[in-house]
Amino acid sequence: MTVTQPDVSVIIGAYEAMPYLVECLASVEAQTIEPARVEVIAVDDGSADGTGEYLEEFAARAPMPVTVIRQENSGGPSGPRNVGLGKAAGRYVFFLDADDRLGPEALERMVAMADRNGTDVVLGRVEGINRKPPQSMWGRTLERTDVYSSNIKFTLSAQKLFRREMLTRHDMRFDESLWTGEDALFTMEAYLRADGVSVIADYTCYYLVGREDGKHVTKRGSYTLRFDSARALMNLIAEMVPPGARRDVLMVRPFAVTLLPQFGPKFLKDSEKIRRHKLELAAPLMAAHWNEGVAQRLKVEDRLRMHLVAGQQPERLLEVLKFTKAKKQPAALLEKKGRRLYLAYPYFRDAEAGIPDSVYLAEPREARAHPGYREGGADFFMRRALRKTRRLLSRRAAPGSSAPGAPRRPNTAAVPPR
The residues assigned a catalytic role are: 183
- CA distance between the termini of the chain: 39
In the chain, the amino acid numbered 67 is T
How many whole angstroms separate alpha carbon 210 and alpha carbon 27?
Answer: 16
CA 266 to chain centre: 22
Q: Are 54 and 22 in contact (CB under 8 A)?
A: yes
How many whole angstroms separate alpha carbon 305 and alpha carbon 310?
Answer: 9
Q: Are 125 and 205 in contact (CB under 8 A)?
A: yes
Continuous segment of H or E residues that includes residue 45: strand 38-45
Continuous segment of H or E residues that includes residue 39: strand 38-45
How many whole angstroms separate alpha carbon 185 and alpha carbon 258?
Answer: 12
CA 105 to chain centre: 25
Neighbours of 348 (CB within 10 A): 18
**What per-residue string of b and e applies to 250-287 under the rule 16 or more CB within 10 Å gives b?**
bbbbbbbbbbbebbeeebeebeeebbeebbebbeebbe
127: helix, coil or strand?
A: strand
CA 61 to chain centre: 37
Nearest CA to 256 among 409, 151, 106? Answer: 151
